[in-house]
Amino acid sequence: MSAPDLRRIVDVARLLKTGALAPQDLVLECLEQIEARPQVNAFITLLKESALEEAKRAGTEIGAGRWRGPLHGIPVAVKDLIDVAGTRTTSGSALPSTEAVEDAPIVTRLREAGAIILGKTNLHEFAFGTTSEETAFGPVRNPLDETRSAGGSSGGSAAALAAGMCFAAVGTDTGGSIRIPSAACGTVGLKPTYGELPLEAIVPLSTTLDHVGPMARSVADAALLFQVMKGLQPMPLPAAPRRLVFGVPVPYFCERIDEDVATALTRARASFEAAGHETIDVAIEHASWTPHVYLHIVLPEASWYHAPLLVRHGSSYSPGVRLRIEMGRYVLAEDYLRALELRSALQLRVDRALDGCDALLLPTLPAAAPELGATVMDVNGHREPVRAAMLRLTQLFNLTGHPSIALPAGAGRDGLPRSLQLVGARHATERLLAIATAVEPQISGGPGSVGGGTG
Amino acid sequence: MTPEIESWLAAAQADADRRGLPELKPLLETLARSTAALREADEQLRLRAQPDDHHASNP
C-alpha cells in the first residue's frame, strides 16, 4: 500500500476516521498557512473561531463512532458569492452587502457531510473577470509566483488550495471561472453539466451560463465533493473502460497555445496511447463563433441582474466590471436571440465531436497565468487581450453545458503550471470523473506518463 | 460592419457620452465588431441549417 498523501482528502479521511489525525490539526494547519502568507489574499472572511469549534465537535463525533463520511472534519473554503449563514456575501465588491441568514443548499450539503467551512474566498468582482484583480479586497496573488494572477474568477479558492490553506473549495464557472484559476494554480476544477448542482443563494452572473462546482487537489477529492454537493452519498465512481478513446479538437483549441502547453498535450497523448487508449483528431465545427455567441449572452444577462444596483451604486463597482455590465445594456434583443440559436447549434457540434469518443482532450489555458496588471498575453508571438485569451478554450462548454474538468499537466520551462481539460457527454459528469481518475497520472506527468513532469 | 451596425454604434456611443461614460466607447466598438461576426454566423447557419440545428435543447 502506498504512503498516504496528506494533501488529498481521500487519504486524510482515513486517518481522521481512525483517530490518527484530529480535525483541529487540519484546521490549525490551514490557518497557519493563511497567516504565513497574507499577501496571497485568498480569503475575504476567515471563520477561525467557528471552524475551530466545528473541528472540535467533529473530533468528538468521530471519536464516538459517528463518522459521517470522508468529508467529516475536512476544512473547505467557499467562494464569496455563495451564501454562508452569518457571513456577508460580498461578491468581491465594495457594494453594500448583507449577512446571509441561511446557507446556500450547496453549503448545507457540505455541512451535512461533516465539512468545516473555513472561510469565504476572494474573487474577481461579481465573478465578472478572469484574473481576480478587480476586487474591492485587493488582488489575489498566485501562490506559485506572487507576481502572477491566480486566475479567476474563483482565484481565491484555487490559490487557497495551492497554498495548503484549505483541503477543498467551492467555485463558480460562467465562462471558465473554476477551470481557469485551477489551471493557473495547478489544481483540479470541475464544471459539472449545466443545471446539475443547485445555484440557489449564489449571486448570479449569467443565469443560463452559471455553474457551481468543486475545486480540489485531486480528481478523487473533486469527485467526492461533487457527489456530496449533488446530494448523494459518497461512493466509488463507475469504473472507466480499460481502453478509452479521446478526441482532440485540434482546430481552434490547439492552434494558438504556447510551446509548453503544446508539449503537455503531446505528452498526454503519448502517455494515453502507451496505456492502451486511443487519441484521434476531431473538429468542433463553428468553434470560432464561440466568443461572439458568449458575449451576446453573458453581457445582457449580467446587465439584467445588475440594472437596479447600477442605478443606486454605479460608482461603487470596479471600473472595468462596471463597464462590462454597462455594455450589456446596449445588446439588442434580436442579437441575444441570435446568440441563443447559435448556442443550440454549437451544442450539437460538441455532441457530434464526442460521437465515438469517451471524452475530448484539450488545453485549459493557452499559456501560463499572466503577470498581475497585464492587459495582453503573448501566446507564441500572438498578442491577445488577457480576458479573451483566458476564456478562449473554456467558454464553449458553458454555452453547451457539457461537463469539463481541468487537470494539472506538469510545469512549463518557466516552472508555472500548465493544464489540460477533459470534456464529457452532457449528464454524464460521474463518467467524466471516472475517466479523469483513470488518466490523471498520465496527464499530470506522474507515474504512467511519458516524458516526466515538466513541460 | 454593416450600415445597420454602424448606425447602432453611433447611437450607442452618443448615449454613452450623454450618460457620462465616454470610456465605454471603445468597448462598444469591440461589441459592434462582435455583433457583426454574430450576425454573419447567424446568416451562415440559416443558409446551411442542418436538420437538428433548431431543435437542440438548452444546456
CATH code of the domain containing A405: 3.90.1300.10
In this predicted model, what pLDDT tens digit does every residue of A149-195 receive, in sequence order?
999 999 999 999 999 999 999 999 999 999 999 999 999 999 999 99
DSSP structural state of residue A314 = G
Same domain? A187 vs A107 = yes
Verify whether residue A79 is a known catalytic residue. yes
Same domain? A180 vs A254 = no
Which one, of A435, A429, A421, lies nearest residue A391 by Cα? A421
A190-218 as b/e, with b when 16 or more CB fall inside 10 Å?
Answer: bbbbbebbbbebbbbbbebbbbbbbbbbb
Determine whether the interchain pair A345/B35 forms a contact, defined as Cβ–Cβ distance below 8 Å.
no
The pLDDT value recorded for residue A4 is 54
Q: If you measure CA to CA, which chain B residue comes closest to A300?
A: B31
The pLDDT value recorded for residue B55 is 53
Same domain? A408 vs A346 = yes
The pLDDT value recorded for residue A90 is 98
3-state secondary structure of B29: helix
Verify whether residue A218 is a known catalytic residue. no
Q: In the numeric block, which cell numbers belong to residue A10?
A: 481521500
Of the candidates A93, A177, A206, A449, the residue annotated as catalytic is A177
- Is the bond preceding A153 in cis, omega lying within 30 degrees of 0? yes
In this predicted model, what pLDDT tens digit does every residue of B10-59 receive, in sequence order?
999 999 999 999 999 999 999 999 999 999 999 999 998 766 665 555 55
Of B27, B38, B56, the CB nearest to A338: B38
Instruction: State yes or no: pLDDT of B5 exceeds 70.
Output: yes
Domain count, chain A: 3
Same domain? A302 vs A378 = no
Same domain? A175 vs A259 = no
Where in the sequence is the domain holding A421, given as residue range(s)?
A: 245-286+342-444
ipTM, two decimals, is: 0.92
Cell numbers 488582488 correspond to what residue? A139
Determine whether the interchain pair B38/A289 forms a contact, defined as Cβ–Cβ distance below 8 Å.
yes
Cell numbers 478554450 correspond to what residue? A393
Which residues of chain B approach chain A closer than 8 Å at the C-beta?
A: 8, 12, 15-16, 21, 23-24, 27-28, 31, 34-35, 37-39, 41-42, 44-45, 50, 52-59
Decide if A236 is inside a domain: no
Decide if A336 is inside a domain: no
User: How close does chain A come to B3, measured CA to CA in Å?
Assistant: 16
What are the residue ranges in chain A where pLDDT is below 70? 1-6, 446-455
A103 within 8 A of A85, measured Cβ to Cβ: yes
Alpha-carbon A252 to chain mean position: 22
Determine whether the interchain pair A401/B58 forms a contact, defined as Cβ–Cβ distance below 8 Å.
yes
The pLDDT value recorded for residue A1 is 43
The pLDDT value recorded for residue A7 is 81
